[in-house]
Amino acid sequence: MSPNVPYLDDSPLVREALGRASVLYTDLDGTLVAKGGSVLADAEGTPSTATAEAIVGVNRAGLDIVPVSGRNRLQLRELTQLLGWHSYIAEAGAIIVHGTGLDAEVILDIGQWQEGTFPEGETPFEIIVRSGAYDTLTAAFPGRIEHFAPWQLDREVTLLLRGCLDTAEAQSVLDQIQPPIDIVDNGRLRSYGTLTCRDMAPHAYHVVPRGVCKARAIARDLAARGLTQADAIAIGDSATDIEMASAVGALVLVDNAFDSPGVLAELERRGPERVFRTRTRRSEGWAETARAWLDARDA
């Protein structure tokens, strides 16, 4: 049974949160972009300007949009510039960037790891690789985990994988490794790659320094802006995105999020407080949220 999550257009609580918010933290795949990865399409990939028009409307209003994604810094810098935005959070919360030029401020978050305890010049990504995390997982779950090629390249903090795992079981395996690391499920994928598992859909996973997450990154970003939790909203489509609810005034889930058993289980576990849903899917749900945000700000 789907948890009782109110629709965006039915709740005065979300309208109040939207009316106060000046920044939106947004997931990309399955949320902002349509099937095929375009913002110039409706939810099913048919050409449409609705999402692009919503982006322009928010930009014209002087409101901030911050992509929060598992993509690396190079990928997000280009996308952020193309869409007229100025900040982004990369690698599932591990890298916070203000600006898109050569003078951009870059913050690497290493979570619970202690500064100065690793060789100078070695990146967190290199530390995780050296820890043997990948070999440990592939030995424990043969045929069920692999590098997410080619998107695992140019990483600075997190190890990006594709697989069919129970994250609790995978975490218990990784708990044997030092320094402490977490595995984070970043949502379903379309392709199995070379995986042999077929009992569940493939997912993207990030292996991160313990404590790194999207909610922590948003809290740090808001503090740097001199803003509070109530000044922000977030939107996503995965179980991992639900954690953002603890860092913002309201979290919106696009309608396709409710196709995921992981989303339903996470909502059941934490409850639907400050979580709302759109009536439309993917990019259309994002545009629906943007229009509601602008309407609430104008009220």
Q: Are residues 137 and 76 in the same domain?
A: no
> Which band of pLDDT confidence, cut at 50, 70 and 90, is reported for residue 21?
very high
Average pLDDT rounded to a whole number, residues 112-116: 88
Q: Write down the pLDDT at residue 136.
A: 98
Are 277 and 151 in a shared domain?
no
| 55 and 104 housed in the same domain | yes
**According to the model, what pLDDT value does residue 22 have?**
98
Give residue-wise pLDDT tens across range 41-60.
Answer: 999 999 999 999 999 999 99
Angle between helices 282-298 and 50-60 (to 10 degrees): 30
284 and 224 fall within a common domain: yes
H-type helices in the chain, by residue range?
A: 12-20, 50-60, 73-82, 124-130, 133-140, 167-174, 214-225, 261-270, 282-298
Whether residue 90 is found in the same domain as residue 20: yes
pLDDT digits 0-9 by tens, 153-204? 999 999 999 999 999 999 999 999 999 999 999 888 989 999 999 999 999 9
Q: What is the CA radius of gyration of the chain?
A: 19
Range of the domain at 156: 124-209
pTM of the predicted protein model: 0.95
The answer on 231 and 182 residing in a single domain is no
Are 256 and 278 in contact, with CB atoms under 8 Å apart? no
| Residue 160 located in a structural domain | yes
Identify the CA nearest to 256 among candidates 80, 34, 84, 90.
Answer: 34
In the sheet where 203-209 sits, what is the strand order?
A: 145-147, 159-163, 203-209, 181-188
Residue that is last in its domain, among 209, 240, 256? 209
Which of 187, 209, 231 is a domain's end point? 209
Average pLDDT over residues 46-75: 97
What is the reported pLDDT for 274? 93
Question: Do 79 and 200 contact (CB within 8 A), yes or no?
Answer: no
For residue 118, being part of any structural domain is answered with no
Question: What's the token pair of residue 43?
Answer: 């939810």
> Domain for residue 3, yes or no?
no
> Is 273 found in the same domain as 219?
yes
Evaluate if residue 207 carries a pLDDT over 70.
yes
Q: Are 202 and 195 in contact (CB under 8 A)?
A: yes
Single-letter amino acid, residue 226: G
DSSP for 217-229, written as a single string: HHHHHHHHHT--G
98 & 16 share domain: yes
**Cβ partners under 8 Å of residue 94, min gap 6:** 108, 109, 110, 124, 156, 157, 158, 208, 209, 212, 217
The number of distinct structural domains making up the chain is: 2
* Cα–Cα dist 140/29, whole Å: 29
Q: How confident is the model at residue 115 (pLDDT cuts 50, 70, 90)?
A: confident
Q: Is residue 1 part of a domain?
A: no
Band (116; pLDDT cuts 50, 70, 90): confident
Look at residue 190 in the predicted model and tell me its pLDDT.
87
DSSP 252-285: EE-GGGGG-HHHHHHHHHH--TTEEE-SS-HHHH
240-273 pLDDT, tens digit each: 999 999 999 999 999 999 998 889 999 999 888 9
Residue 115 in domain: no
> 84 with 218: CB under 8 angstroms?
no
Q: Determine the number of helices (DSSP H) and then strands (DSSP E) in the chain.
A: 9, 12
Residue 120: predicted pLDDT = 84
User: Domain check: are 81 and 199 in the same one?
Assistant: no
Looking at the fold, whether 21 and 43 belong to one and the same domain comes out as yes
Residue 203 inside a domain? The answer is yes
Same domain, 46 and 192: no
How many Å apart are CA 153 and CA 49, to the nearest integer?
A: 32
Give the pLDDT mean for 27-31: 95
Confidence of residue 2 (pLDDT cuts 50, 70, 90): low
CATH of the domain at 32: 3.40.50.1000
Question: 58, 15 in Cβ contact below 8 A?
Answer: no
Chain mean position to CA 84: 19
The answer to whether position 114 is within a domain reads no
Q: In what order do the strands lie in the sheet with 232-236?
A: 64-67, 23-26, 232-236, 250-253, 275-277
CA distance 210 to 213: 9
Mark whether 105 and 228 lie in a shared domain: yes
Residue finishing a domain among 209, 224, 239: 209
Residue 299's pLDDT band (boundaries 50, 70, 90)? confident
Residue 175 covered by a domain? yes
